[in-house]
């Protein structure tokens, strides 16, 4: 890396050096302004990393400057702040001198890549980055000493709910725990760290002709999805992600490392599959994966002058689709009387005739405007996700989203959903096709209990009150919700997410495993009295 003195170097020399490799701009107090020069130089070159040091006059000015540099240069300008200025960014109430594990604080160069999530802006006071279970235990001990602060748990930082960051609190970031290994090839048993992304998992499994259904986007981290559910493109063919979980290793709130499976701490294993964020920090997952070779992958764009009718038709087609077929629908508010409908789906078959026959009924719900249908690998589909890279996620503001399960996509639901989209309060509306293999699992086997809905619905808007007022009008069509797609913090949402007996059992287990409610910032399940088995004809 070339070091350049701005008091001596000419613009031509700066460009020539930057084109040869990364550079550091040194400010001696004379000559060109370092920040202005850095942005100019970024515009004259491509790919070069440009280092620069400066001392801002205020914390607010420094943050505004860094935001501007990030926007203008795509993260290529690296600012090495003055140490005194960096310390000034520390938040009150945090023992920065007693941090027991690797961590990032607001003045650190890499902090900006970890403070926000995919959709939510954040400004935590400290991001702890443990890489082993013992370091996770140390991070949790630090969190217990800071109970007055919010606590977020982060793997990939992609979650729509945004609960993995906060303002002024702590974040335990396990993204560094991202190993993937095959434990037993004959049983297709794999071990995955919570910090891996599903894109990485798919690539690792693909060489064996294996796959593990994992939502619809490869950039999502394993940790959050593998403890919540995993409604994805292979779900109707092979079940939810958590249906393949055979064991989970985690660290409890008191720092105790445990293993949960069908034979080890089975009650905790039950809770971790659907409500895991309330019970501990997962450090490894063991999955039994599926044999999946090539699949049919489709992206269809349709135009409809009658959104209500198209939703009805989609429901009818989806209801009768073979279980090897999963098709999601995305749309937004109609414009000039026309709705653009995007369908993206997967057929677990490498036979082109089968793939076309499965998809053709879906293509008839509107006027087909664009299509892309290919036979490909599941890993290639997950690979369409962009690599986040060291610059991390850069969400801003607060996401506004609602979620629900729809037992049956009725004509009345189609009518009310079309009205919702015409309200102006929703800019993104998604229906996830359920059924098939999802229904094969007994609802009582794990905390995720909603096995029979036809659809999962998610809606996003720009105004909390506006979206809630419109979405709540559809409540008669709903039974349950998927917390990972919801940002509504009203306590009713937790009650909606779990049937009453399930929530009662979860609260009892919370009392056993986290009695002080350390894990309270991700749709909190509050502790209650110890759980008593429900009465049945045999024991009543």
Kindly give the parts of the chain with pLDDT less than 70: 1, 7, 27-31, 47, 53-86, 389-390, 529-540
Chosen domain end from 85, 106, 128: 85
174-178, Cβ contacts within 8 angstroms, sequence gap of 24 or more: 174/129, 174/130, 174/136, 174/223, 174/281, 174/282, 174/283, 175/129, 175/221, 176/129, 176/130, 176/131, 177/130, 177/131, 177/132, 177/283, 177/284
Opening angle at CA 239, ends 234 and 243, nearest 5: 130
Examine residue 155 and state whether it is found in any structural domain, yes or no. Answer: no
For residue 265, what are its two tokens?
């701490």
d(CA 428, CA 311): 15
Chosen domain end from 38, 64, 85: 85
Q: Give the per-residue pLDDT at 174.
A: 97
Examine residue 76 and state whether it is found in any structural domain, yes or no. Answer: yes
Examine residue 274 and state whether it is found in any structural domain, yes or no. Answer: no
User: Are the C-beta atoms of 432 and 215 separated by less than 8 Å?
Assistant: no
Question: 407: domain CATH number?
Answer: 3.40.462.20
Examine residue 24 and state whether it is found in any structural domain, yes or no. Answer: yes
Q: Give the per-residue pLDDT at 58.
A: 54
User: Are the C-beta atoms of 521 and 171 separated by less than 8 Å?
Assistant: no
Is 471 strand, coil or helix?
helix
Examine residue 261 and state whether it is found in any structural domain, yes or no. Answer: no
Examine residue 75 and state whether it is found in any structural domain, yes or no. Answer: yes
Q: Give the per-residue pLDDT at 535.
A: 42
d(CA 171, CA 524): 16
Q: Which position has the token pair 């677990």?
A: 348
Give the range of the structural domain holding residue 470, as residue numbers without chain letter: 294-497
Count of structural domains, the chain: 2
DSSP 8-state code for residue 370: E
Q: Give the per-residue pLDDT at 281.
A: 98
Examine residue 430 and state whether it is found in any structural domain, yes or no. Answer: yes
What pTM does this model have? 0.85
Q: Give the per-residue pLDDT at 348.
A: 98
Examine residue 102 and state whether it is found in any structural domain, yes or no. Answer: no
């Amino acid at each position: 890396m070339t070091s350049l003195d701005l008091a001596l170097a000419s613009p031509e020399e700066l460009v020539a050096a930057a084109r040869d490799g990364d550079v550091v701009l040194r400010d001696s107090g004379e000559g060109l302004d370092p920040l202005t020069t850095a942005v100019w130089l970024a515009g004259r070159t491509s790919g070069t990393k440009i280092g620069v040091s400066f001392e801002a006059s205020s914390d607010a000015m420094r943050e505004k400057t860094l935001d501007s540099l990030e926007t203008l240069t795509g993260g290529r300008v690296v600012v090495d702040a003055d140490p005194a200025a960096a310390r000034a960014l520390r938040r009150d109430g945090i023992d920065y001198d007693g941090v027991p594990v690797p961590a990032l604080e607001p003045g650190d160069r890499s902090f900006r890549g970890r403070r926000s999530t995919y959709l939510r802006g954040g400004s935590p006071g400290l991001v702890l980055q443990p890489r082993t279970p013992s370091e996770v235990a140390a991070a949790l001990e630090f969190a217990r000493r800071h109970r007055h602060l919010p606590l977020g748990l982060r793997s990939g930082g992609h979650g729509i709910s945004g609960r993995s960051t906060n303002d002024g609190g702590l974040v335990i970031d396990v993204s560094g725990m991202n190993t993937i290994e095959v434990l037993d090839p004959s049983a297709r048993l794999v071990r995955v760290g919570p910090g891996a992304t599903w894109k990485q998992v798919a690539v690792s499994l693909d060489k064996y002709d294996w796959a593990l259904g994992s939502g619809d986007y490869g950039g999502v981290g394993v940790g959050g999805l593998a403890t919540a559910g995993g409604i994805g493109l292979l779900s109707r063919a092979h079940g939810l992600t958590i249906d393949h979980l055979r064991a989970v290793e985690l660290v409890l709130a008191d720092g105790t490392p445990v293993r949960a499976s069908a034979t080890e701490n089975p009650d905790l294993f039950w809770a971790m599959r659907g409500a895991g964020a309330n019970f501990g920090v997962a450090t490894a997952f063991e999955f039994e994966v599926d044999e999946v070779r090539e699949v049919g992958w489709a992206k269809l764009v349709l135009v409809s002058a009658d959104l209500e009718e198209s939703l009805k038709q989609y429901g009818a087609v989806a209801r009768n689709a073979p279980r090897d077929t999963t098709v999601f629908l995305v749309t937004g508010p109609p414009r000039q009387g026309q709705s653009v409908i995007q369908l993206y789906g997967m057929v677990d078959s490498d036979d082109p005739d089968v793939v076309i026959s499965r998809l053709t009924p879906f293509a008839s719900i509107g006027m087909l405007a664009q299509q892309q249908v290919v036979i490909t690998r599941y890993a290639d589909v997950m690979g369409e996700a962009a690599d986040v890279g060291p610059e991390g996620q850069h969400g801003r503001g607060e996401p506004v989203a609602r979620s629900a399960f729809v037992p049956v996509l009725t004509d009345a639901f189609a009518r009310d959903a079309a009205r919702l989209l015409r309200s102006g309060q929703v800019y993104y509306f998604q229906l996830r096709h359920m059924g098939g293999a999802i229904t094969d699992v007994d609802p009582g086997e794990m905390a995720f209990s909603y096995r029979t809905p036809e659809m999962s619905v998610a809606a996003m808007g720009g105004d909390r009150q506006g979206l809630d007022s419109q979405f709540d009008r559809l409540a008669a069509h709903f039974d349950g919700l998927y917390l990972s797609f919801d940002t509504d913090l009203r306590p009713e949402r937790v009650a909606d997410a779990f049937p009453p007996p399930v929530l009662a059992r979860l609260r009892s287990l919370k009392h056993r495993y986290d009695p002080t409610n350390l894990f309270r910032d991700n749709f909190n399940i509050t502790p209650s009295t110890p759980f008593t088995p429900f009465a049945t004809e045999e024991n009543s």
